[in-house]
Protein backbone atom coordinates (compact mmCIF):
# COMPACT_ATOMS: atom_id res chain seq x y z
CA UNK A 1 0.00 0.00 0.00
CA UNK A 2 2.79 2.40 0.95
CA UNK A 3 4.55 1.71 -2.33
CA UNK A 4 1.40 2.54 -4.30
CA UNK A 5 1.02 5.82 -2.44
CA UNK A 6 4.65 6.65 -3.19
CA UNK A 7 4.19 5.90 -6.89
CA UNK A 8 1.04 8.02 -7.07
CA UNK A 9 2.78 10.86 -5.22
CA UNK A 10 5.75 10.74 -7.61
CA UNK A 11 3.48 10.69 -10.65
CA UNK A 12 1.45 13.63 -9.35
CA UNK A 13 4.63 15.56 -8.60
CA UNK A 14 5.94 14.92 -12.10
CA UNK A 15 2.60 15.95 -13.61
CA UNK A 16 2.52 19.20 -11.65
CA UNK A 17 6.14 19.95 -12.54
CA UNK A 18 5.40 19.28 -16.21
CA UNK A 19 2.41 21.64 -16.09
CA UNK A 20 4.32 24.39 -14.30
CA UNK A 21 7.61 24.18 -16.18
CA UNK A 22 8.05 26.47 -19.15
CA UNK A 23 11.39 27.25 -20.80
CA UNK A 24 12.30 30.87 -20.13
CA UNK A 25 15.11 33.10 -21.39
CA UNK A 26 18.25 33.15 -19.24
CA UNK A 27 17.81 36.87 -18.59
CA UNK A 28 14.57 36.34 -16.66
CA UNK A 29 14.93 36.97 -12.94
CA UNK A 30 13.43 34.34 -10.60
CA UNK A 31 12.32 32.04 -13.46
CA UNK A 32 10.53 29.57 -11.19
CA UNK A 33 8.44 32.34 -9.66
CA UNK A 34 7.41 33.50 -13.14
CA UNK A 35 6.64 29.90 -14.12
CA UNK A 36 4.40 29.56 -11.07
CA UNK A 37 2.58 32.80 -11.87
CA UNK A 38 2.07 31.68 -15.44
CA UNK A 39 0.80 28.28 -14.28
CA UNK A 40 -1.65 29.98 -11.91
CA UNK A 41 -2.92 32.20 -14.70
CA UNK A 42 -3.28 29.23 -17.08
CA UNK A 43 -5.07 27.24 -14.38
CA UNK A 44 -7.56 30.07 -13.86
CA UNK A 45 -8.18 30.26 -17.61
CA UNK A 46 -8.58 26.47 -17.97
CA UNK A 47 -10.98 26.34 -15.01
CA UNK A 48 -12.93 29.23 -16.50
CA UNK A 49 -13.20 27.55 -19.91
CA UNK A 50 -14.37 24.34 -18.19
CA UNK A 51 -17.10 26.24 -16.32
CA UNK A 52 -18.19 27.90 -19.54
CA UNK A 53 -18.27 24.53 -21.33
CA UNK A 54 -20.49 23.20 -18.53
CA UNK A 55 -22.70 26.31 -18.88
CA UNK A 56 -21.96 27.29 -15.29
CA UNK A 57 -20.61 30.78 -16.00
CA UNK A 58 -18.73 32.79 -18.59
CA UNK A 59 -15.01 32.04 -18.33
CA UNK A 60 -14.30 35.73 -17.71
CA UNK A 61 -16.43 35.71 -14.55
CA UNK A 62 -14.55 32.71 -13.21
CA UNK A 63 -11.13 34.23 -13.90
CA UNK A 64 -12.14 37.56 -12.37
CA UNK A 65 -13.26 35.82 -9.21
CA UNK A 66 -9.92 34.01 -8.96
CA UNK A 67 -7.95 37.20 -9.60
CA UNK A 68 -9.92 39.08 -6.95
CA UNK A 69 -9.11 36.34 -4.43
CA UNK A 70 -5.40 36.62 -5.20
CA UNK A 71 -5.50 40.42 -5.01
CA UNK A 72 -7.27 40.16 -1.66
CA UNK A 73 -4.32 38.13 -0.40
CA UNK A 74 -1.60 40.35 -1.83
CA UNK A 75 -3.16 43.60 -0.62
CA UNK A 76 -2.70 42.56 3.00
CA UNK A 77 0.34 42.98 5.26
CA UNK A 78 3.54 43.74 3.35
CA UNK A 79 1.91 44.58 0.03
CA UNK A 80 0.25 47.65 1.55
CA UNK A 81 3.63 49.34 1.91
CA UNK A 82 3.05 51.17 -1.38
CA UNK A 83 -0.14 52.82 -0.09
CA UNK A 84 0.44 56.33 1.28
CA UNK A 85 -1.84 57.13 4.26
CA UNK A 86 -1.93 60.87 3.44
CA UNK A 87 -3.29 60.33 -0.07
CA UNK A 88 -7.06 60.73 -0.20
CA UNK A 89 -9.09 58.81 -2.75
CA UNK A 90 -12.70 59.21 -3.81
CA UNK A 91 -14.85 56.96 -5.98
CA UNK A 92 -17.02 59.02 -8.31
CA UNK A 93 -18.00 59.27 -11.98
CA UNK A 94 -16.68 61.38 -14.84
CA UNK A 95 -19.29 61.75 -17.60
CA UNK A 96 -21.03 58.68 -16.18
CA UNK A 97 -17.85 56.57 -16.17
CA UNK A 98 -16.69 55.15 -12.79
CA UNK A 99 -13.33 56.59 -11.69
CA UNK A 100 -11.23 56.71 -8.55
CA UNK A 101 -9.61 60.08 -7.88
CA UNK A 102 -6.41 60.15 -5.81
CA UNK A 103 -5.44 63.48 -4.28
CA UNK A 104 -2.02 64.15 -2.74
CA UNK A 105 -1.50 64.89 0.94
CA UNK A 106 -2.30 68.41 2.10
CA UNK A 107 0.47 70.91 1.60
CA UNK A 108 1.68 73.36 -0.98
CA UNK A 109 -1.59 75.29 -0.93
CA UNK A 110 -1.74 77.99 -3.52
CA UNK A 111 0.22 75.94 -6.06
CA UNK A 112 -1.36 74.07 -8.95
CA UNK A 113 -0.82 70.33 -9.09
CA UNK A 114 -0.09 67.82 -11.82
CA UNK A 115 -2.88 65.65 -13.21
CA UNK A 116 -2.74 62.14 -14.66
CA UNK A 117 -5.44 59.89 -16.09
CA UNK A 118 -4.57 56.19 -15.84
CA UNK A 119 -6.16 53.39 -17.89
CA UNK A 120 -5.50 49.91 -16.54
CA UNK A 121 -4.53 46.85 -18.56
CA UNK A 122 -6.11 43.40 -18.65
CA UNK A 123 -6.90 42.55 -22.27
CA UNK A 124 -9.99 44.80 -22.26
CA UNK A 125 -11.57 42.02 -20.16
CA UNK A 126 -9.92 42.01 -16.74
CA UNK A 127 -8.67 44.40 -14.12
CA UNK A 128 -9.67 47.49 -12.20
CA UNK A 129 -7.80 50.66 -11.41
CA UNK A 130 -8.97 50.31 -7.81
CA UNK A 131 -7.14 47.10 -6.99
CA UNK A 132 -3.77 45.43 -6.71
CA UNK A 133 -0.65 47.12 -8.02
CA UNK A 134 -2.67 49.83 -9.80
CA UNK A 135 -3.94 51.16 -6.49
CA UNK A 136 -0.45 51.12 -5.00
CA UNK A 137 1.13 52.87 -8.00
CA UNK A 138 -1.59 55.53 -8.09
CA UNK A 139 -0.95 56.27 -4.42
CA UNK A 140 2.78 56.64 -5.11
CA UNK A 141 2.32 58.90 -8.11
CA UNK A 142 -0.10 61.12 -6.24
CA UNK A 143 2.25 61.45 -3.25
CA UNK A 144 5.64 61.69 -4.99
CA UNK A 145 4.55 63.97 -7.83
CA UNK A 146 1.96 66.07 -6.00
CA UNK A 147 -0.43 64.78 -8.62
CA UNK A 148 -4.18 64.19 -8.88
CA UNK A 149 -4.54 60.72 -10.39
CA UNK A 150 -7.77 59.65 -12.06
CA UNK A 151 -7.97 55.87 -12.50
CA UNK A 152 -10.73 54.91 -14.94
CA UNK A 153 -12.86 51.78 -14.62
CA UNK A 154 -14.05 51.56 -18.21
CA UNK A 155 -16.51 48.83 -19.20
CA UNK A 156 -15.07 45.43 -20.07
CA UNK A 157 -15.68 42.38 -22.24
CA UNK A 158 -18.02 40.45 -22.35
CA UNK A 159 -20.47 43.16 -21.25
CA UNK A 160 -19.28 45.39 -24.11
CA UNK A 161 -17.02 45.34 -27.14
CA UNK A 162 -15.14 48.02 -29.07
CA UNK A 163 -15.77 50.93 -29.29
CA UNK A 164 -17.45 51.15 -25.85
CA UNK A 165 -14.26 50.88 -23.71
CA UNK A 166 -12.62 53.54 -25.87
CA UNK A 167 -15.71 55.76 -25.70
CA UNK A 168 -15.77 55.44 -21.90
CA UNK A 169 -12.14 56.54 -21.68
CA UNK A 170 -12.60 59.34 -24.18
CA UNK A 171 -15.65 60.69 -22.34
CA UNK A 172 -13.85 60.52 -18.98
CA UNK A 173 -10.82 62.27 -20.50
CA UNK A 174 -12.88 65.14 -21.92
CA UNK A 175 -14.56 65.58 -18.55
CA UNK A 176 -11.22 65.53 -16.74
CA UNK A 177 -9.72 68.11 -19.10
CA UNK A 178 -12.61 70.54 -18.77
CA UNK A 179 -11.54 73.84 -17.17
CA UNK A 180 -14.13 73.43 -14.43
CA UNK A 181 -12.85 70.03 -13.30
CA UNK A 182 -9.20 71.06 -13.51
CA UNK A 183 -9.98 74.09 -11.37
CA UNK A 184 -11.93 71.99 -8.87
CA UNK A 185 -8.89 69.79 -8.26
CA UNK A 186 -6.36 72.65 -8.56
CA UNK A 187 -4.62 71.04 -11.55
CA UNK A 188 -2.27 72.95 -13.82
CA UNK A 189 -3.87 72.68 -17.32
CA UNK A 190 -0.40 72.55 -18.88
CA UNK A 191 0.66 69.54 -16.80
CA UNK A 192 -1.88 66.81 -17.49
CA UNK A 193 -0.93 63.31 -18.68
CA UNK A 194 -2.71 60.26 -20.01
CA UNK A 195 -1.20 56.87 -19.32
CA UNK A 196 -1.89 53.14 -19.35
CA UNK A 197 -0.39 49.69 -19.64
CA UNK A 198 -1.02 46.93 -22.19
CA UNK A 199 -4.70 47.23 -23.24
CA UNK A 200 -4.77 50.42 -21.17
CA UNK A 201 -1.77 51.64 -23.14
CA UNK A 202 -3.79 51.01 -26.29
CA UNK A 203 -6.65 53.10 -24.91
CA UNK A 204 -4.30 55.84 -23.68
CA UNK A 205 -2.67 56.17 -27.12
CA UNK A 206 -6.05 56.23 -28.86
CA UNK A 207 -7.46 58.80 -26.42
CA UNK A 208 -4.35 60.98 -26.80
CA UNK A 209 -4.84 60.96 -30.57
CA UNK A 210 -8.55 61.79 -30.38
CA UNK A 211 -8.08 64.57 -27.83
CA UNK A 212 -5.22 66.08 -29.84
CA UNK A 213 -7.35 66.18 -32.99
CA UNK A 214 -10.56 67.40 -31.29
CA UNK A 215 -10.85 71.15 -31.76
CA UNK A 216 -13.67 71.21 -29.24
CA UNK A 217 -11.34 70.27 -26.38
CA UNK A 218 -9.64 73.39 -25.09
CA UNK A 219 -7.06 71.73 -22.82
CA UNK A 220 -4.88 68.97 -24.27
CA UNK A 221 -2.78 66.30 -22.63
CA UNK A 222 0.80 67.50 -22.32
CA UNK A 223 2.34 64.01 -22.23
CA UNK A 224 1.40 60.40 -22.85
CA UNK A 225 3.08 57.55 -20.98
CA UNK A 226 2.53 54.11 -22.49
CA UNK A 227 3.59 50.87 -20.78
CA UNK A 228 4.03 47.96 -23.25
CA UNK A 229 0.99 49.10 -25.27
CA UNK A 230 -0.99 46.94 -27.74
CA UNK A 231 -1.17 49.12 -30.85
CA UNK A 232 -1.79 47.02 -33.95
CA UNK A 233 -3.61 43.86 -34.98
CA UNK A 234 -2.57 43.41 -38.60
CA UNK A 235 0.69 41.53 -38.12
CA UNK A 236 0.96 38.84 -35.48
CA UNK A 237 4.27 37.68 -36.90
CA UNK A 238 6.48 40.61 -36.01
CA UNK A 239 9.85 39.56 -34.53
CA UNK A 240 8.55 40.00 -30.98
CA UNK A 241 5.38 38.00 -31.64
CA UNK A 242 7.46 35.17 -33.12
CA UNK A 243 10.24 35.30 -30.52
CA UNK A 244 7.82 35.40 -27.57
CA UNK A 245 4.90 33.41 -28.95
CA UNK A 246 4.99 30.97 -26.02
CA UNK A 247 6.24 33.38 -23.37
CA UNK A 248 4.88 33.27 -19.82
CA UNK A 249 2.01 35.58 -18.79
CA UNK A 250 1.06 36.64 -22.34
CA UNK A 251 1.41 34.28 -25.29
CA UNK A 252 0.63 35.16 -28.88
CA UNK A 253 -2.47 32.92 -28.81
CA UNK A 254 -3.83 34.72 -25.73
CA UNK A 255 -3.13 38.19 -27.14
CA UNK A 256 -4.90 37.39 -30.42
CA UNK A 257 -7.84 36.01 -28.42
CA UNK A 258 -8.01 39.28 -26.46
CA UNK A 259 -8.00 41.26 -29.71
CA UNK A 260 -10.84 39.22 -31.24
CA UNK A 261 -12.91 39.48 -28.07
CA UNK A 262 -12.39 43.23 -27.91
CA UNK A 263 -13.27 43.74 -31.57
CA UNK A 264 -16.28 41.40 -31.39
CA UNK A 265 -14.73 38.90 -33.76
CA UNK A 266 -15.57 35.20 -33.80
CA UNK A 267 -12.87 33.22 -31.98
CA UNK A 268 -12.99 30.64 -34.77
CA UNK A 269 -11.00 33.21 -36.79
CA UNK A 270 -8.05 32.95 -34.39
CA UNK A 271 -5.90 30.51 -36.43
CA UNK A 272 -6.37 32.57 -39.59
CA UNK A 273 -5.51 35.81 -37.82
CA UNK A 274 -2.38 34.32 -36.24
CA UNK A 275 -1.34 33.25 -39.75
CA UNK A 276 -1.84 36.85 -41.03
CA UNK A 277 -4.56 35.73 -43.44
CA UNK A 278 -6.46 38.93 -42.59
CA UNK A 279 -3.63 41.11 -43.90
CA UNK A 280 -2.81 39.24 -47.11
CA UNK A 281 -1.16 41.13 -49.95
CA UNK A 282 -4.35 40.92 -52.05
CA UNK A 283 -6.48 42.63 -49.41
CA UNK A 284 -8.00 45.56 -51.31
CA UNK A 285 -8.68 47.46 -48.06
CA UNK A 286 -4.98 47.51 -47.19
CA UNK A 287 -3.32 50.20 -49.26
CA UNK A 288 0.44 50.54 -49.51
CA UNK A 289 0.21 53.57 -47.23
CA UNK A 290 -1.63 51.60 -44.53
CA UNK A 291 0.86 48.75 -44.73
CA UNK A 292 3.76 51.16 -44.35
CA UNK A 293 2.41 52.22 -40.95
CA UNK A 294 2.99 48.72 -39.55
CA UNK A 295 6.02 47.76 -41.64
CA UNK A 296 8.42 46.51 -39.01
CA UNK A 297 11.15 45.92 -41.60
CA UNK A 298 11.42 49.72 -41.83
CA UNK A 299 10.22 50.90 -38.42
CA UNK A 300 12.22 48.58 -36.18
CA UNK A 301 15.92 49.16 -35.44
CA UNK A 302 18.19 46.39 -36.84
CA UNK A 303 18.80 45.14 -33.29
CA UNK A 304 15.19 44.01 -33.06
CA UNK A 305 14.72 42.89 -36.65
CA UNK A 306 17.54 40.35 -36.23
CA UNK A 307 17.20 37.53 -38.78
CA UNK A 308 13.42 37.55 -38.94
CA UNK A 309 11.57 37.72 -42.25
CA UNK A 310 8.09 39.19 -42.71
CA UNK A 311 5.20 36.77 -43.16
CA UNK A 312 3.22 38.02 -46.13
CA UNK A 313 0.30 35.85 -47.22
CA UNK A 314 -0.62 36.34 -50.87
CA UNK A 315 -4.33 35.49 -50.95
CA UNK A 316 -5.56 34.95 -47.39
CA UNK A 317 -9.18 35.64 -46.48
CA UNK A 318 -10.98 38.66 -47.89
CA UNK A 319 -13.84 38.27 -45.41
CA UNK A 320 -12.01 38.77 -42.11
CA UNK A 321 -11.66 42.55 -42.40
CA UNK A 322 -15.33 42.76 -43.33
CA UNK A 323 -16.34 40.67 -40.33
CA UNK A 324 -14.02 42.53 -37.97
CA UNK A 325 -13.87 46.15 -39.21
CA UNK A 326 -12.24 47.27 -35.97
CA UNK A 327 -8.96 45.81 -37.23
CA UNK A 328 -8.60 48.98 -39.34
CA UNK A 329 -10.17 51.51 -36.94
CA UNK A 330 -7.49 53.80 -35.51
CA UNK A 331 -9.46 54.15 -32.27
CA UNK A 332 -8.70 50.45 -31.77
CA UNK A 333 -5.32 50.26 -33.52
CA UNK A 334 -3.51 53.60 -32.91
CA UNK A 335 -0.41 52.56 -34.89
CA UNK A 336 -2.47 52.93 -38.08
CA UNK A 337 -3.11 56.64 -37.49
CA UNK A 338 -2.17 59.10 -40.23
CA UNK A 339 1.05 61.07 -39.88
CA UNK A 340 -0.94 64.30 -39.57
CA UNK A 341 -2.78 62.91 -36.53
CA UNK A 342 0.42 61.68 -34.88
CA UNK A 343 2.08 65.06 -35.39
CA UNK A 344 -0.48 66.66 -33.06
CA UNK A 345 0.12 64.14 -30.26
CA UNK A 346 1.89 65.07 -27.01
CA UNK A 347 5.45 64.01 -26.26
CA UNK A 348 5.67 60.41 -25.18
CA UNK A 349 7.25 57.95 -22.81
CA UNK A 350 7.07 54.38 -24.08
CA UNK A 351 8.24 51.40 -22.06
CA UNK A 352 8.88 48.10 -23.83
CA UNK A 353 10.10 44.70 -22.64
CA UNK A 354 12.36 42.35 -24.55
CA UNK A 355 10.35 39.23 -23.69
CA UNK A 356 6.92 40.54 -24.64
CA UNK A 357 4.85 39.89 -27.77
CA UNK A 358 3.91 43.60 -27.72
CA UNK A 359 7.51 44.84 -27.74
CA UNK A 360 7.53 45.75 -31.42
CA UNK A 361 4.18 47.57 -31.23
CA UNK A 362 5.75 50.07 -28.82
CA UNK A 363 8.99 50.33 -30.78
CA UNK A 364 7.19 50.99 -34.07
CA UNK A 365 4.96 53.60 -32.48
CA UNK A 366 8.00 55.35 -31.03
CA UNK A 367 9.54 55.53 -34.50
CA UNK A 368 6.36 56.77 -36.18
CA UNK A 369 6.00 59.52 -33.57
CA UNK A 370 9.63 60.55 -34.00
CA UNK A 371 9.22 60.59 -37.79
CA UNK A 372 6.65 63.39 -37.43
CA UNK A 373 8.63 65.38 -34.89
CA UNK A 374 7.10 64.19 -31.60
CA UNK A 375 9.61 63.86 -28.77
CA UNK A 376 9.79 60.26 -27.50
CA UNK A 377 11.62 58.79 -24.50
CA UNK A 378 11.95 55.06 -25.05
CA UNK A 379 12.72 52.81 -22.09
CA UNK A 380 13.53 49.25 -23.12
CA UNK A 381 13.98 46.60 -20.44
CA UNK A 382 16.33 43.90 -21.69
CA UNK A 383 15.19 41.55 -18.91
CA UNK A 384 11.56 42.67 -18.93
CA UNK A 385 8.45 40.64 -19.66
CA UNK A 386 4.78 41.51 -20.12
CA UNK A 387 3.06 42.39 -16.88
CA UNK A 388 6.29 43.21 -15.02
CA UNK A 389 5.01 46.73 -14.25
CA UNK A 390 2.30 45.19 -12.06
CA UNK A 391 4.53 42.67 -10.29
CA UNK A 392 5.92 44.89 -7.56
CA UNK A 393 4.36 43.60 -4.34
CA UNK A 394 5.08 40.46 -2.38
CA UNK A 395 4.70 37.59 -3.16
CA UNK A 396 4.55 38.48 -6.87
CA UNK A 397 7.42 40.96 -6.85
CA UNK A 398 10.23 41.18 -9.39
CA UNK A 399 13.07 43.68 -9.36
CA UNK A 400 12.51 44.44 -13.05
CA UNK A 401 8.96 45.51 -12.18
CA UNK A 402 10.17 47.82 -9.44
CA UNK A 403 12.74 49.32 -11.84
CA UNK A 404 10.02 49.83 -14.43
CA UNK A 405 7.78 51.70 -12.00
CA UNK A 406 10.71 53.79 -10.74
CA UNK A 407 11.72 54.74 -14.30
CA UNK A 408 8.12 55.65 -15.15
CA UNK A 409 7.65 57.87 -12.08
CA UNK A 410 11.05 59.52 -12.58
CA UNK A 411 10.20 60.37 -16.19
CA UNK A 412 6.89 61.88 -15.11
CA UNK A 413 8.70 63.86 -12.40
CA UNK A 414 11.02 65.36 -15.01
CA UNK A 415 8.57 65.81 -17.89
CA UNK A 416 5.12 66.50 -16.49
Q: What is the pLDDT of residues 332-349, one digit of tens each?
A: 999 999 999 999 999 999
Q: What is the total count of domains within the chain? A: 1
Structural domain includes residue 300: no
Say if CB 229 and CB 350 are below 8 A apart: yes
* Res 11: pLDDT: 47
pLDDT confidence bin for 78, thresholds 50/70/90: very low
Which amino acids are annotated catalytic? 198, 356, 386
Structural domain includes residue 409: yes
Domain hosting 192: range is 86-232+337-414
Structural domain includes residue 293: no
Mean pLDDT of 148-163: 98
* Res 77: pLDDT: 43
Structural domain includes residue 303: no
* Res 393: pLDDT: 87
* Structure confidence by residue, pLDDT tens digits, 190-241: 999 999 999 999 999 999 999 999 999 999 999 999 999 999 999 999 999 9
Reading across the β-sheet that carries 147-152, which strands appear in turn? 88-94, 97-103, 147-152, 113-119, 187-197, 223-227, 347-355, 376-385
Structural domain includes residue 253: no
Any idea which of 81-90, 170-179, 248-257, 349-358 has the lowest mean pLDDT? 81-90
Please provide residue 275's backbone torsions phi and psi, each rounded to the nearest 5 degrees: -85, 5
Say if CB 123 and CB 251 are below 8 A apart: no
Residue 131 belongs to domain with CATH number = 3.40.50.1820
CA–CA distance, 366 with 347 (Å, rounded to integer): 10
Structural domain includes residue 110: yes
Average per-residue pLDDT in the chain?
92
Structural domain includes residue 24: no
Structural domain includes residue 106: yes
For the four alpha carbons of 95, 97, 98 and 103, in that order, the dihedral sign comes to negative
Mean pLDDT of 122-136: 94
Amino acid sequence: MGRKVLVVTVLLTVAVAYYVYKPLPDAIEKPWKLMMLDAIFRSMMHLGFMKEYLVLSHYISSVRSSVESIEGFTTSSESREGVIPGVKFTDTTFAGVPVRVYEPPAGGEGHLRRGLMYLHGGGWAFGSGKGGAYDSISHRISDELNCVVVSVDYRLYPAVHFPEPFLDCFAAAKHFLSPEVLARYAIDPERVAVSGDSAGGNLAAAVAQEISADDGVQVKFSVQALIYPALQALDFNTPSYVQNQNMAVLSRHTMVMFWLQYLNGDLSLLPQVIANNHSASRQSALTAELRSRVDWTVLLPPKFRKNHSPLVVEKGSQEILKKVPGLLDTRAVPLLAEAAVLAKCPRAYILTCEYDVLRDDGLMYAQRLRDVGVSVSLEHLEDGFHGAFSFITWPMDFEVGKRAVRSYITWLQNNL
